[in-house]
Every structure is written in structure tokens, then in C-alpha cells.
Amino acid sequence: MSMISQQHKKKSVLLFLPAQNFNEHEFLIVSNSLDAAGYKAFIVSDSSFLCTGSNGLKVKNDVQLCNAHESNFAGFLIIGGSGTRNYWDNLSLQSLAKKFALNKKPVGALCCAPVILAKAGLLTEPATCFLDDRKTLEREGVEFAISPVVANRKIITGQDPSSSSEFVKAFIHELTNSLYAVHS
């Protein structure tokens, strides 16, 4: 494999959007921040063509959920919004998040999305999520942290749209550390 394609993988992030009702504010803050930091976001969804935000923003997905492979990306993010709740029990999405975590790549979930990570068994330490979903997170055995952002062992959770900027900064920090860590 050429050095160029290796470098391309290191700067690519997989970003999950539900087919319907993703949070547009979170998506725009996160995708623009990744872009500004030199990372390319690839949209993954189970939508056959366009993902539609809660206010009508349409985003074409780059990768079908069934075709996503963690080996092609440096990190994985799940955007929230009311539509994300429909994916809480999605085994393909949980499995994909686990593959990133097992390979020590950063995984981030915002708003109601941390419940997906909890159901996947990835949240072993306190985490945060949208306040309305606190009880669901706790039912999965995860201690709720009253904080805009919680980062533990390359797993980053964000509370709500207003924490999007802080959330993506924490995620980019973990990405950068992962890329420049010395592997033994």
C-alpha cells in the first residue's frame, strides 16, 4: 500500500447519520470542525440515498452501513437527533462502534447517540448524553455524568447540541493522539 493511501486513511473519519431527523446543528459543527482540522468526514448511513435532518437539510451518504469497515478510517462519530433513537438497538451500528474501539480508534457519540455505545457495551466508565435519555443510559449500567463532554479511553460522549464544539475538539484531540502515538 502506498504512503499516500495510508496517509489518506489516517485523515478519514466515519460519521454516522440516521436516515431521518439527525441534528443538523451537531452535524454542521462536527463536520466543519473536522474539515478545518484537516480530516475528511465520510458519511455512513443505512439510507439508500439522502439523509434528511430535522429541519430538512439533505446530506448524501458516502458509505452504506452494511459496507463500512473500520480499517479504512481513523475514527468513528455518531451524530444525535431524534432519528438516532431509532438506531439504539441497531446491531450493525453497535458492531461497527465495537470494531473501532477494539482497534483503539476514537469513537464519539453525541446527544442521544451515547445510548448506542452503552448498548454495545463500550461505556464502562461515566458518560454523558442528552438529559432526556439519562434513564435509558443508566438502565444500560452506565453512570451518567453531568458534563457537556466526557472522554474516557478514546470514547467521547457529548451531552447535547450546545456541547458540539467542545465534543468535536475532544474527538480531534483523541484522533491526533492516536495518529502520533508510538506503537510498541
Query: What does the domain layout of the chain look like in residue ranges?
Result: 3-178
Give the closest residue to 78 by CA, choosing from 142, 127, 126, 8.
127
- Bridge partners of 181, per DSSP, are none
CATH number of 3-178: 3.40.50.880
Contacts of 31 (CB under 8 A, 6+ apart): 15, 41
Local confidence pLDDT in tens for the 184 residues of the chain: 344 455 556 799 999 999 999 999 999 999 999 999 999 999 999 998 899 999 999 999 999 999 999 999 999 999 999 999 999 999 999 999 999 999 999 999 999 999 999 999 999 999 999 999 999 999 999 999 999 999 998 999 999 999 999 999 999 999 988 776 644 3
User: How confident is the model at residue 181, as a pLDDT?
Assistant: 60
**Dihedral angle over CA of 57, 49, 28, 129, nearest 10:** 100
User: How confident is the model at residue 153, as a pLDDT?
Assistant: 84
pTM over 0.95: no
d(CA 34, CA 113) in angstroms, rounded, equals: 19
Q: Check: CB of residue 33 under 8 Å from CB of residue 40.
A: no
User: How confident is the model at residue 49, as a pLDDT?
Assistant: 84
- For 45-91, the DSSP string reads ES-SSEEEETTS-EEE-SEEGGG--GGG-SEEEE--SGGGGGGTT-H
d(CA 46, CA 33) in angstroms, rounded, equals: 24
> In what helix (H) or strand (E) does residue 155 lie, and over which residues does it extend?
strand 155-158
User: How confident is the model at residue 178, as a pLDDT?
Assistant: 79
User: How confident is the model at residue 6, as a pLDDT?
Assistant: 54
Q: Residue 4, exposed/middle/buried by CB under 10 A (0-12, 13-18, 19+)?
A: exposed
